[in-house]
Amino acid sequence: MKKIIALALTLIMVFALAAPVASAADGSVYWLNFKPELDEAAQQLAAMYTEKTGVPVKVVTAASGSYSQTLTSEMDKSAAPTLFIIGNQAGVKEWGEFAMDLTGTPIAEELSTDAYNLYDEDGRLVSIGYCYECYGIIVNPDLIEAAGHSMDELVNFEGLKAVAEDIHARAAELGFDAFSSSDMDGSSSWRFTGHMINLEYFYEERDAGGWTECPASLSGAYMDNYKNLYDLCINNSLTDPADLATGGHDAENEFKTGKAAFFVNGSWEYAAVSETVPNATMIPYYCGVEGEEMAGLNCGTENCWAINDMASDADKQATMDFMVWLVSDPEAAAIMVEQLGVLPYKHVPESANGFLAAAAAYSDKGCYVMDWATNYQPNVDDYRAALVSALNAYNADQSDANWAQVVTAAIDGWAVQYAAANG
Amino acid sequence: MKGIFKNPLRRWFWLFLGPVTAAFAIGFVWPFLQGIYLSFCKFKLIRNAKFIGFGNYLSAFKDPTFLHAFWYTALFALTSLLFINILGFAAAYVLTQGIKGSNLFRTVFFMPNLIGGIVLGYIWSMIFDGILSRYGTSILLETKYGFWGLIILMCWQQIGYMMIIYIAGLQAVPEDMLEAAKIDGATKRQTLFRVTIPNVMPSITICTFLSLTNGFKLFDQNLALTGGQPFIIQADGSSIKTTEMLALNIYNTFYSSNSASKGVAQAKAVLFFILVAGLGLAQLAYTRKREVQQ
C-alpha cells in the first residue's frame, strides 16, 4: 500500500511541475502573423514589448500560403490568437464574425486614413490596415540605359513592349534579358494570378464606378490587356515559357544579379532588391488600355489586423495596447516602417522604400491609383489554382484554344467560385 | 478473489495497459467520434458547430469532384497494388537466392521508404520535369503523366518495404518442403507457384492490405507531385482537378472559403473511412482464405 501511495504522490508532483505557471500580468497577446518576411522583426518587437511592460507576447508566423489553414486550427484552441489578419473580403466573410468591432478604439484613432480598413455587412470595422503596399513592374534603370534606351520610353504598353522585345532580341550581346522568370509554382504564381490579373479587375471595377462588394460575375473586357502584358513577360524572359510549370528559377536573384531588367513584384521586395540595385524603381502594369499614360501603381494592402472577439477582455485590452505601441512608440514604429514601408498611422516615421516613393510620385503627377480589386477574388485558393493550371497549358503551347481556357478559368471561374463561396 | 491479486501480472496490468489505452482514447477514439458528430454539423470552428442532419452527406454525393477523385483513387490504388507487390515479391525472391551482396541491395531498396512524402513529391517532380521538359511538356500538363509519375514514385518508395516483408515470408518456407519438391522432380516454376507462394500467403495478405490502404489514403505525395493539376476547365468555368485523389479532395474541400464546406469535408472523410475500412477488411478476408496452415 505504501508503494502505491508513494507512486501516486510522485505522479502528482510530476504533474504539478508540468502545470502552467499562472501569468503575472492580466492579459497576454498572441499575434498570428501573416507575412513571413516580418517574422524576425515581429519576434524582436514582441521581446521588446515584454521587456518593457511585462505583458507576454507570442508571435507565430504561418508558412507562406498556409495562413487560412493555420488560422483555422489555431482559432479552435483554448489559447487562440488574439491578434490575427483579415486581409480581404473573403476573409471578412469567413472570419468577420470572430473579429471585435474596432470603431472608435484607440488603434483606430491612430490611423491617418481609413482607406485600408475592412468593414462587414453590418458596418462593423473588423480589421484595420497596418501597412500599405504597392506592386507593378520593378525596373533596373541602369540596364535600360545600358541597352541604349531611356526610362522615358516606359510610359505605356507600346513603349514597354518595344524596349522589352529589343532587349530580349539582343540578350546574348547585352548579357542580360528583359524579364526575370515567371514561375508557376506556389511560391511565385501569385504574382500573375493574384497581382498582374488585378489590371483586368481594376479596369472593370473602374468602368463599373467602383466595387463595394464582390461582384457575382465579370465581363472579361480587359483579358486581352492581361494577355498583352503576360505574353510580353513570358516571351521576353530568361526562361523558356514551357519550363515554368514546376518553377525552380529564382526571379528575385535574377533581377538582383543584373541578369534581367524587369521583375514583376511589389514594394516588399525593396529591401532585398535595393541591396544590389539601389536605384531600382517600379512602373505600372502597362497593358494597352487607353489613357494608361496616366496609370499609377497598384496600391493597397492585405495586411489588416483584427482582434479576436472571443478572447478575454484582459487579452483584448493587452492586444489593443500592443498594437497602439507598435505604431506610436518611436523605436517600435521605426522598426515597423523599416520592414513594412508606409504605415497609415499618424505617429510613424517616413519610409525610405523606393517603390512606395515611386507610387507617391505617380500620384503626385495626377496618375490614377490602381486599387487592389484582386482582394475580392472569391474562394481565392481554388480560383487561383484553376488559373495556374490553365496558364501552365498556355505557357507550353500558346494557342488561341489554350488562351480561351485561361479566360474561362479567370472569368467564368470567378462566377463559379462566387457561387461556391456564397452558396 | 484474493488469489487473483496474488498474480503480479493481474495486479499491475492496468499500469501497463493504462497509458496506451488513455493515449488511444485521447488521440484516436475521442477525435474519431467527434469527427463523426461534426459530419452532421455546419461549423467554422468546432466549438460553435450546429447540428444539421444528413445535408453534408447529400452535398458530398452530389459533388462531381468527389466522384472523380474516387474513381481516380480506385484506379491508382489497384494499379499501384499490382506493381508494388509483383515487383516487391520479385525483388525478395531474387535476393533470397543467395546472390552476392544481397544485404546491401536489401538495405538500398528499403531506404526510399525513410524519406517523407512531401520531399519525395518535390524531388520526383524535378526528376520528371527534367526529362519531360526536353519534349516541351511537364508532369503538370498531362493527366497520364501525373498518374504514371505517382505510380513510379510510389513503387520506388514502397517496393523496398514490401520486399522486406516478403523476404521474411520466403525465409520461413520450410526447407524440407522445398527439398521434397526437388526430389519429386518439380521444376523451379512449379516449386514457386505450388510450394513457395502458398506458403508466403500470410505475407501476401499483409502486403496487399498495406498497399491497398496506402493507395487509398495517399496524400503527401499527391499534394507535392501534382497537387491535382492539370485541371479540366469546363465551359461553365468550374474545373475538375484530374489528378486529385480522395484525401486531397477532402483537404481542399475543408479549406475552401464556403462556410458550409467544412461539414461537407467532414462527411466526405467519414465516407472515406468507411470505404477504406470496408475494402481493407474484404481484402483481408479474401486473401486469408488462401493461406495454408503449416
Q: Where are the domains of chain A?
A: 21-131+301-346, 134-299+361-422
* Shared domain check, B217 and B134: yes
Chain B's closest residue to A95, CA to CA, is B44
Task: From chain B, pick out residues whose CB is under 8 angstroms from the CB of A421.
Answer: 256-258
Q: Does B62 touch chain A (CB under 8 A)?
A: no
* Shared domain check, B241 and B163: yes
* Shared domain check, B107 and B199: yes
- Cα A219 from Cα A206, distance rounded (Å): 13
Interface test with A, best of B11, B139, B145, B233 (most A CBs within 10 A): B233
Task: From chain A, pick out residues whose CB is under 8 angstroms from the CB of B44.
Answer: 94
Contact state of B229 with A381 under an 8 Å Cβ cutoff: no
Within-domain flag for B293: no
Q: Which domain holds residue B221?
A: 55-288
- Cα A360 from Cα A199, distance rounded (Å): 19
Chain A's closest residue to B256, CA to CA, is A379
* Shared domain check, B284 and B147: yes
ipTM: 0.81
Pairing type for strands A29-33 and B239-241 reads: unpaired
Interface of A with B (CB under 8 A): 68-69, 72, 75-76, 90, 93-94, 98, 242-243, 245-246, 248, 378-382, 385-386, 388-390, 392-393, 396, 405, 408-409, 411-416, 420-423
Mean pLDDT of chain A: 89
Q: Does B259 touch chain A (CB under 8 A)?
A: yes
Chain A's closest residue to B259, CA to CA, is A94
* Shared domain check, B114 and B7: no
Q: Does B46 touch chain A (CB under 8 A)?
A: yes
Contact state of A242 with B138 under an 8 Å Cβ cutoff: yes
Task: From chain A, pick out residues whose CB is under 8 angstroms from the CB of B237.
Answer: 408-409, 411-416
Q: Which pLDDT tens digit goes with each residue over A72-99? A: 889 988 899 999 999 888 888 889 999 9
Contact state of A393 with B141 under an 8 Å Cβ cutoff: yes
- Cα B92 from Cα B113, distance rounded (Å): 16
- Cα B149 from Cα B164, distance rounded (Å): 24
- pTM comes to 0.84
Q: Does B268 touch chain A (CB under 8 A)?
A: no
Concatenated DSSP letters of B228-285: TPSEEE-TTS-EEETT--HHHHHHHHHTSS-TTHHHHHHHHHHHHHHHHHHHHHHHHH
Contact, A76 vs B47, CB < 8 A? yes
Contact state of B138 with A392 under an 8 Å Cβ cutoff: yes
- Cα A210 from Cα B31, distance rounded (Å): 47
Four-point Cα dihedral B125, B130, B136, B138, nearest 10: 0
A9, pLDDT greater than 60: no
Average pLDDT over residues A154-163: 96
Average pLDDT over residues A147-154: 95
Task: From chain A, pick out residues whose CB is under 8 angstroms from the CB of B260.
Answer: 423
- Cα B152 from Cα B146, distance rounded (Å): 10
Chain B's closest residue to A418, CA to CA, is B258
Q: Which pLDDT tens digit goes with each residue over A203-227? A: 999 999 988 888 999 999 999 999 9
Task: From chain B, pick out residues whose CB is under 8 angstroms from the CB of A72.
Answer: 45, 255
Contact, A90 vs A379, CB < 8 A? yes
Contact state of A93 with B126 under an 8 Å Cβ cutoff: no
Task: From chain B, pick out residues whose CB is under 8 angstroms from the CB of A189.
Answer: none
> Looking at residue B190, which CATH number applies to its domain?
1.10.3720.10
A18, pLDDT greater than 50: no
Q: Which pLDDT tens digit goes with each residue over A181-211? A: 999 988 899 999 999 999 999 999 999 998 8
Within-domain flag for B46: no
Contact state of A413 with B258 under an 8 Å Cβ cutoff: no
- Cα A259 from Cα A238, distance rounded (Å): 8
User: E-strand spans in A116-240?
Assistant: 118-119, 125-129, 133-139, 177-179
pLDDT value at residue A2: 57
* Shared domain check, B185 and B101: yes
Contact, A180 vs A189, CB < 8 A? no
Within-domain flag for B48: no
* Shared domain check, B185 and B119: yes
When mean pLDDT is compared across A1-5, A195-199, A379-383, B14-18, the lowest value belongs to A1-5
* Shared domain check, B232 and B203: yes
SS3 content of chain A, % helix, strand, coil (to 5): 50, 15, 35
* Shared domain check, B155 and B59: yes
Closest approach of A369 to chain B, Cα-based (Å): 29
A391, pLDDT greater than 90: yes
Within-domain flag for B49: no
Domain A21-131+301-346 CATH class label:
alpha beta
C-alpha cell at A278: 539601389
pLDDT value at residue A21: 40
Work out how many domains chain B is built from and give that number. Answer: 2
Q: Which helix (H) or strand (E) holds A368?
A: strand A368-371
Task: From chain B, pick out residues whose CB is under 8 angstroms from the CB of A248.
Answer: 126
Backbone φ, ψ for residue B228 (5° rounding): 100, -15
- Cα A302 from Cα B182, distance rounded (Å): 76
- Cα A45 from Cα A52, distance rounded (Å): 11
Identical fold, A21-131+301-346 and A134-299+361-422: yes
Closest approach of A268 to chain B, Cα-based (Å): 26
Handedness of CA A61, B117, B215, B127 (dihedral sign): positive
- Cα B228 from Cα B143, distance rounded (Å): 9
Q: Does B222 touch chain A (CB under 8 A)?
A: no
B234, B258, B260 ranked by CB distance to A379: nearest: B258
Buried b (16+ CB within 10 A) or exposed e, A290-299: eebeebbbbb
Contact, A354 vs A274, CB < 8 A? yes
The CATH code of the domain at A134-299+361-422 is 3.40.190.10
- Cα A411 from Cα A200, distance rounded (Å): 10
Contact state of B257 with A68 under an 8 Å Cβ cutoff: yes
Within-domain flag for B50: no
pLDDT value at residue B8: 76
* Shared domain check, B151 and B31: no
Chain B's closest residue to A70, CA to CA, is B255
> From first to last of its 294 residues, what are the pLDDT tens digits of chain B?
455 556 777 778 888 898 999 999 999 999 999 999 999 998 888 888 889 989 999 999 998 899 999 999 999 999 999 999 999 999 999 999 888 888 888 888 889 888 888 999 999 999 998 898 888 888 999 999 999 999 999 999 999 999 999 999 999 899 999 999 999 999 989 999 999 999 999 899 999 999 999 999 999 999 999 989 899 888 888 888 999 999 999 998 988 767 678 899 999 999 999 999 999 899 888 888 877 665
* Shared domain check, B157 and B27: no
* Shared domain check, B257 and B139: yes
pLDDT value at residue A7: 54
Q: Which pLDDT tens digit goes with each residue over A29-45? A: 999 999 888 899 999 99
Contact state of A416 with B46 under an 8 Å Cβ cutoff: no
CA A73 to chain centre: 22
Q: Does B129 touch chain A (CB under 8 A)?
A: yes
Contact state of A422 with B258 under an 8 Å Cβ cutoff: yes
Q: Which pLDDT tens digit goes with each residue over A252-277? A: 999 999 999 999 999 989 988 999 99
pLDDT value at residue B236: 86
Contact state of B228 with A385 under an 8 Å Cβ cutoff: yes
Handedness of CA A307, A66, B63, B249 (dihedral sign): negative
Contact state of A389 with B139 under an 8 Å Cβ cutoff: no
Task: From chain B, pick out residues whose CB is under 8 angstroms from the CB of A423.
Answer: 258, 260
Contact state of B133 with A243 under an 8 Å Cβ cutoff: yes
Contact, A388 vs A193, CB < 8 A? yes
